[in-house]
Amino acid sequence: MFGQLRVLFVSTPCSKVKAMFLFAVLAGGVLSLSSVGLGVEPPTVVVRGTIDEVIRLVTDEGLKKPDQATHRRELLEETIGHHFDFAEMAKRSLAAHWKHRSEPEHQEFATLFQTLLSKTYARKIENYSGEKVQYLKERLKDSFAEVQTTIVSSKTEIFLDYRLILKDGNWRVYDVVVDGVSLVKNYRVQFDRIIRDSSYEELVKTLREKSDDITAP
């Protein structure tokens, strides 16, 4: 799955089913269970609400009209980017290479990473066709959490585990495990290969070019 990909990050392992629910949850973030006493909803409730909002966008008949295509894509990208810790994901994906980059480079890389992922999956989730999500388990340990789900269609069942980190009182997604394979680990292997075979600058160039290809009409 991940390991077989030749074009990194753009050709992620997600079918339309995986992509739909992957970013539905990445988009929403999950709030701290420690805040339940203050009226904050538990993680699964928040996750379910987020998925419902993404499904609402992709099934809205008004937004399906040709003249609404750009607007719908913008709404999806906005939802996808909300409460997702791209900086944390970028840092973990670059691993040891991160510490050798400057703060401006950190910001640039995280921004390119976010743009590419949100645009890639905004396109994919527009193909949603009624798949269902089941919520299996929530796990908490210190400032980390995991929400385990499964995506069910008439033909397949996909397990998605969402890993979150607690920052500023909010749970933010930093990794997704799809059928046992970590998205961050997949990126880490591919990024490391490009940097070692060429350079960090080449990786940034590739990210930028792939993002431009997606945004091109």
Task: Write down the pTM of the prediction.
Answer: 0.75
Burial class (CB in 10 A: 0-12, 13-18, 19+), 167: middle
- Residue 7 pLDDT > 50: no
The span from the CA of 76 to the CA of 72, in Å, is: 6
Residue 129, SS3 per DSSP: coil
Cβ pair 4, 60 in contact under 8 A: no
Q: Over pLDDT 90: what percentage of the chain?
A: 29
Residue 46 pLDDT = 65
Helix ranges (DSSP H) in 67-161: 69-81, 86-94, 103-125
- Residue 9 pLDDT > 60: no
Residue 22 pLDDT = 56
The span from the CA of 46 to the CA of 50, in Å, is: 6
